[in-house]
């Protein structure tokens, strides 16, 4: 049997999907988390369950809603399970009535009944079933309430004969009548007290800045570096232990442990950053940040809805690009995707912290924040200059309820990011570190060398010198570092650690230029493949060219300014 799981955004579909199938699809306390159809077999029954992206209605919305509508029309489903938010029944029933008009076997799952009870909302499931003409089951996907025997949903399925209005206003009026007849409120609805501060016109933005600052301080200054220090100590112990064994080979101690191992030591910082961003998403703060940033984003030709993908971009650009699918309008989606590379992802962190250590000594986090600021400032300037003359439309944003984080979901999502990083370390970083070390220790005839100046890698790096000299980067190894980030941004730190061990010197001015250029270059190959799926090959090629040109121009201008200012300041 093929079953479609349909419902409005943030109604708990994916949480239910994970519970019924044992999968670990990403969930979050905001609209637009699910942007693609997910398929799996239900535990116990073996039926195919398809989790559709959330959709508000059969018209409008972004690419995610269009994909859901297409699946409802084309998939030969035996049953539609309509997941309904019990705390917002009127809004949810507008979609239910449209699904009923498809004349397919259906059942309604009244989700979040536990939250509804806390808010003083009681829904008569039997009365609602009688009015809709299809079975209705009260459940809670989060706690498992009502899900002891999911096969009940399959047994009682049937198509409804209810005639729903075609127009939006008629649908809403009918939904109001049905909800009013089956709902009993034991308490008046109240706005969450925290929103009075979080959305305050005066205090909202300072609170947002404080929350974001706390996230970065915990990640870069306090918790993350403390754990990273322990890992670096273990790496040193491993190197020392190898020195007393037959495995004391330079390719291992320098090429692998010395370069790729340096990147792995920053895994705790990336983990803490991902954990905190996931908590903010799970709590429901990201949509509130989007509301606060709306006026500022309009100056870049965007609106508040674009804030969520941009904030997610600090973790990883790939899911951020996919999150942009929920944005309505082709131009808004494409513009958001084009600006996302200016939000530095966590993969760039090891290299930025390495440069930060070279620039600020014992305070690498200051350097990382400096480079973050330069990248964001460049993105703001670029966005303002390319916004065009179009007038930004007003937008409506659904604010989910503030909830305590669901720690199981938070930890699973963080684990997925850590696993992704470790897989990249195994498949890209370690082989690249090994290859760079080998290429820097053989000449053009592949004879072994002690020094890298006459190596094969140096010959490749010198080809980039005409482009590097206007930037003040007079060492071929700096070109290799920048080029190594094309596949994965973490590799830049791996390459830099290797070259620094071999005696490469980087001045403070070169550190600023190198960090700025690395941030403005095109994103990694994985991100570009995702961008290509959104923009197409031609627009992706333009994006790559623009970022390469922008990085070169910005690096040249910055070098010129530093060349003029250094004598004055020195």
Residue 38 phi, psi (nearest 5): -115, 140
Closest CA to 401 of 11, 41, 7: 11
CA distances from 373 to 47, 224, 352, 369, 513 (A): 50, 20, 12, 6, 14
- 177-192: per-residue pLDDT in tens? 999 999 998 876 666 7
pLDDT of residue 231: 66
Question: In angstroms, what CA-CA distances link 450 with 101, 177, 271, 439?
Answer: 76, 83, 37, 12
- What is the longest distance spanned by two Cα atoms in the chain? 85
Beta bridge mates, 84: 110
**C-alpha to C-alpha distance for 39 and 59, rounded to whole angstroms:** 24
How far is CA 392 from each of CA 294, 297, 303, 309, rounded to the nearest angstrom?
10, 10, 7, 18
- Confidence at residue 223, expressed as pLDDT on a 0 to 100 scale: 84
Phi and psi at 27, nearest 5°, equal: -125, 155
Among 245, 515, 490, 243, residue whose Cα is nearest residue 374: 515
| Residue given tokens 């220790």 in the structure block | 441
| Non-local CB neighbours of 74 within 8 Å, separated by 6+ positions | none
pLDDT in the model for residue 28: 85
Q: What is the DSSP letter of 323?
A: H
Cβ-based neighbours of 480, under 8 Å, separated by 6 or more: 436, 457, 460, 461, 464, 495, 499
- Give the per-residue pLDDT at 514: 96
Q: pLDDT (tens digit, 0 to 9) for every residue of the chain, 570 residues total?
A: 999 999 999 999 999 999 999 998 988 888 888 889 999 999 988 999 999 999 999 988 888 999 999 999 999 999 999 999 999 999 999 999 999 999 999 999 999 999 999 889 999 999 999 999 999 999 999 999 999 988 888 888 789 999 889 888 999 999 999 999 999 988 766 667 899 999 999 999 999 999 999 998 888 888 877 777 666 676 667 667 766 666 556 666 666 666 666 777 778 888 899 999 999 999 999 999 999 999 899 888 899 989 999 999 998 899 999 999 988 888 899 999 999 999 999 889 889 989 999 988 878 888 888 999 999 999 999 999 888 755 556 667 778 989 889 898 899 999 988 888 888 877 887 788 778 888 888 888 888 887 667 889 999 899 999 999 999 999 999 999 999 999 889 899 888 988 988 889 999 999 999 999 999 999 999 999 999 999 999 999 999 999 999 999 999 999 999 988 877 655
Residue 214 confidence (pLDDT)? 93
End-to-end CA distance of the chain: 75
Where along the chain do the CATH 3.40.50.300 domains lie? Answer: 2-185
CATH code for the structural domain at 2-185? 3.40.50.300
Q: What's the alpha-carbon Rg for the chain, to the nearest Å? A: 27
């Amino acid at each position: 049997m093929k079953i479609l799981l349909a419902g409005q955004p943030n109604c708990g579909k994916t949480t239910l999907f994970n519970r019924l199938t044992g999968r670990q699809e990403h969930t979050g306390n905001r609209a637009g988390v699910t942007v693609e159809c997910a398929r799996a077999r239900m535990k116990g029954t073996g039926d195919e369950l398809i989790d559709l992206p959330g959709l508000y209605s059969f018209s409008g919305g972004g690419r995610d809603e269009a994909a859901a509508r297409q699946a409802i029309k084309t998939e030969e489903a035996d049953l539609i399970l309509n997941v309904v938010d019990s705390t917002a029944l009127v809004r949810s029933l507008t979609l239910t009535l449209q699904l009923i008009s498809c004349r397919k076997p259906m059942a309604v799952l009244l989700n979040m009944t536990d939250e509804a009870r806390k808010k003083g909302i009681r829904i008569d499931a039997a009365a609602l079933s009688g009015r809709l003409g299809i079975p209705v089951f009260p459940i809670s996907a989060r706690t498992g309430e009502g899900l002891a025997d999911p096969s009940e949903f399959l047994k009682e399925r049937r198509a409804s004969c209810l005639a729903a209005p075609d127009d939006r206003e008629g649908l809403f009026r009918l939904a109001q009548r049905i909800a009013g007849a089956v709902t009993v409120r034991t308490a008046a609805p109240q706005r969450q007290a925290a929103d009075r501060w979080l959305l305050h016109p005066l205090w909202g933005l300072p609170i947002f800045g404080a929350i974001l600052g706390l996230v970065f301080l915990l990640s870069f200054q306090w918790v993350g570096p403390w754990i990273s220090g322990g890992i670096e100590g273990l790496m040193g112990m491993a190197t020392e232990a190898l020195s007393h064994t037959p495995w004391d080979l330079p390719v291992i101690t320098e090429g692998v442990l010395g370069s790729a191992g340096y990147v792995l030591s920053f895994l705790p910082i990336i983990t803490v950053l991902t954990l905190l961003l996931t908590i903010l998403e799970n709590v429901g703060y990201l949509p509130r940040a989007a509301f606060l940033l709306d006026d500022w984003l309009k100056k870049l030709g965007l609106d508040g809805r674009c804030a969520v993908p941009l904030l997610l971009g600090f973790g990883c650009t790939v899911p951020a690009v996919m999150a942009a699918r929920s944005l309505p309008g082709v131009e808004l989606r494409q513009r958001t995707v084009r600006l996302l590379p200016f939000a530095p992802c966590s993969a760039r962190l090891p290299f930025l912290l390495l440069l930060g250590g070279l620039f600020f000594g014992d305070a690498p986090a200051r350097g990382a924040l400096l480079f973050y600021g330069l990248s964001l400032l460049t993105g703001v300037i670029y966005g303002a200059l390319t916004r065009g003359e179009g007038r930004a439309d007003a937008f409506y944003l659904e604010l989910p309820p503030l909830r305590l984080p669901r720690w199981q979901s938070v930890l699973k999502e963080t684990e997925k990011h850590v696993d992704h990083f470790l897989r990249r370390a195994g498949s890209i970083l370690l082989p690249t570190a090994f290859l760079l070390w080998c290429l820097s220790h053989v000449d053009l005839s592949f004879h072994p060398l002690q020094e890298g100046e006459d190596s094969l890698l140096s010959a490749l790096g010198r080809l980039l010198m005409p482009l590097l000299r206007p930037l003040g980067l007079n060492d071929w190894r700096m070109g290799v570092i920048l080029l190594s980030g094309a596949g994965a941004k973490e590799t830049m730190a791996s390459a830099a650690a290797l070259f620094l061990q071999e005696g490469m010197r980087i001045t403070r001015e070169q550190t600023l230029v190198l960090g700025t250029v690395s941030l403005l270059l095109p994103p990694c190959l994985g991100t570009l493949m995702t961008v290509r799926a959104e923009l197409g090959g031609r627009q992706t090629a333009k994006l790559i060219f623009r970022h390469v040109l922008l990085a070169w121009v910005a690096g040249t201008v910055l070098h010129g300014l530093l060349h003029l200012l250094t004598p004055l300041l020195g």
